[in-house]
């Protein structure tokens, strides 16, 4: 037991050191400039959605950035340092929630360590300074509260709402929290509250609807040689097809995951999203890392190795001049393998169809 504790402690210290080293070496990027631009607009009382096309989220995150910028000015550090420190704290809290979701003990500690030491998580939070991990933390909190006894629906709704308000990557997830046979959960009207809260956050900017429609509702991320977006390279393929396939895949996944345990269902929904997403950024690959740490397995290992290797050679990553590193296609196939592995783990060994 003492050896295990020492191993876990060494792992957490190693992960912390790696994250701090990345933060110390951070010199800025395109997204940090976009965040700073949003803060500047808020400080002078400008319009967040008409004065820039580089802000694609609810106004809540912009006000979080404004608070971090104020703290940075107060203590005399850079905006990037304040943001990076905040994201580091968020990942530490995520590790704590994973410990609780894992039931504590060795399994919970292993899940927390798998996440905090994961190179994809480290890279996205401390190299890219992306805030997807904040929305994921709130989603994990919703899962934790949804499974508590006695059932407590109000905190679950609150955490889901917070997740969407920070970054709406969990926009498809509230239906997974609906109650079902032998499963505690939300009532239909309660599952709509996160969407209502997300929409209400834009009310102060209702005069800027054209900017919200173009920058938030109509945002389609980047076009890369990845997944269904490659269909557009085929002559005659309509531009709406990748989006339609994504919507159909999400609907099918929600129907098929209704009876799957909630944490695993959330993990698998993230994997379906990454398979069919019509636009991609490399920091999206952090989405399934936290939930995947709860279950481990070959799929999680292969995905981590492939994505970490991809980030080593990516021009937006470390850009190392190494040959034979995975590209966008390699990552997509690792997502497919991981999803297939999770489906296989759910199938009874007797060969009968899963419930």
pLDDT at 339: 97
Rounded to 5 degrees, what angle do the CA atoms 172, 175, 176 make? 95
Residue 355 has pLDDT above 50, yes or no: no
| pLDDT tens track for 55-102 | 999 999 999 999 999 999 999 999 999 999 999 999 999 999 999 999
List Cα–Cα distances, 38 to 49, 72, 77, 313, in angstroms.
9, 16, 19, 30
pLDDT band at 354 (very low <50, low <70, confident <90, very high): very low
Task: Supply the pLDDT for residue 267.
Answer: 97
d(CA 151, CA 6): 36
- Integer Cα distance of 99 and 106 in angstroms: 9
Question: Is the confidence at residue 149, as pLDDT, over 70?
Answer: no
Give 220-256 pLDDT, tens digit per residue: 888 788 988 888 888 888 989 999 999 999 999 999 9
Is 21 a residue whose pLDDT tops 60? yes
Residue-wise pLDDT tens digits, 173-203 = 999 999 876 678 889 999 999 999 999 999 9
d(CA 185, CA 207): 37
> Does 1 have pLDDT greater than 60?
no
Residue 196, number of CB atoms within 10 A of its CB:
11
At 3 the pLDDT is 61
pLDDT digits (tens, 9 = 90+) for 269-288: 999 999 999 999 999 999 99
Report the distance separating Cα 118 and Cα 132, nearest Å: 15
Spatial CB neighbours of 139, under 8 Å, sequence gap ≥ 6: 159, 160, 163, 170, 173, 266
3-class SS of residue 186: strand
Q: What is the pLDDT of residue 323?
A: 72
Picking from 49-58, 301-310, 316-325, which range would have the lowest pLDDT averaged per residue?
316-325
pLDDT in tens, 39-59: 999 999 999 999 999 999 999
pLDDT of residue 17: 94
pLDDT > 70: percent of the chain: 95
């Amino acid at each position: 037991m003492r050896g295990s504790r020492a191993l876990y402690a060494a792992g957490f210290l190693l992960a912390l050191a790696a994250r701090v080293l990345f933060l110390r070496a951070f010199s800025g990027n395109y997204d940090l400039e976009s965040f700073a631009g949003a803060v500047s607009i808020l400080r002078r009382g400008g319009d967040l959605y008409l004065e820039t096309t580089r802000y694609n989220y609810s106004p809540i995150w912009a006000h979080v950035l404004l608070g971090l910028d104020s703290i940075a000015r107060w203590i005399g550090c850079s905006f990037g340092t304040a943001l990076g420190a905040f994201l580091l704290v968020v990942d530490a809290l995520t590790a704590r929630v994973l410990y609780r979701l894992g039931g504590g003990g060795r399994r919970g500690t292993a899940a927390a360590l798998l996440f905090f030491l994961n190179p994809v998580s480290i890279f996205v939070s401390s190299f890219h300074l992306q805030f997807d991990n904040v929305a994921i933390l709130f989603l994990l909190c919703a899962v934790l509260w949804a499974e508590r006894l006695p059932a407590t629906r109000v905190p679950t709704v609150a955490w889901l709402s917070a997740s969407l308000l920070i970054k709406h990557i969990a926009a498809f997830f509230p239906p997974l929290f609906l109650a079902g046979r032998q499963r505690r959960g939300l009532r239909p009207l309660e599952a709509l509250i996160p969407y209502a809260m997300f929409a209400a956050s834009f009310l102060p900017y209702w005069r800027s609807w054209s900017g919200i429609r173009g920058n938030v509702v109509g945002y389609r991320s980047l076009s890369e040689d990845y997944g269904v977006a490659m269909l557009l390279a085929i002559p005659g393929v309509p531009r709406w097809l990748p989006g339609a396939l994504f919507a159909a895949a999400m609907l099918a996944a929600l129907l098929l995951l209704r009876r799957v345990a909630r944490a695993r269902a959330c993990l698998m929904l993230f994997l379906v999203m990454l398979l069919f997403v019509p636009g991609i950024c490399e920091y999206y690959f952090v989405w399934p890392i936290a939930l995947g740490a709860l279950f481990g397995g070959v799929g999680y290992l292969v995905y981590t190795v492939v994505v970490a290797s991809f980030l080593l050679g990516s021009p937006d990553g470390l850009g190392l001049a190494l040959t034979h590193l995975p590209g966008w296609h390699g990552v997509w196939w690792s997502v497919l393998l991981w999803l297939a592995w999770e489906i296989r783990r759910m199938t009874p060994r007797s060969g009968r169809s899963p419930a």
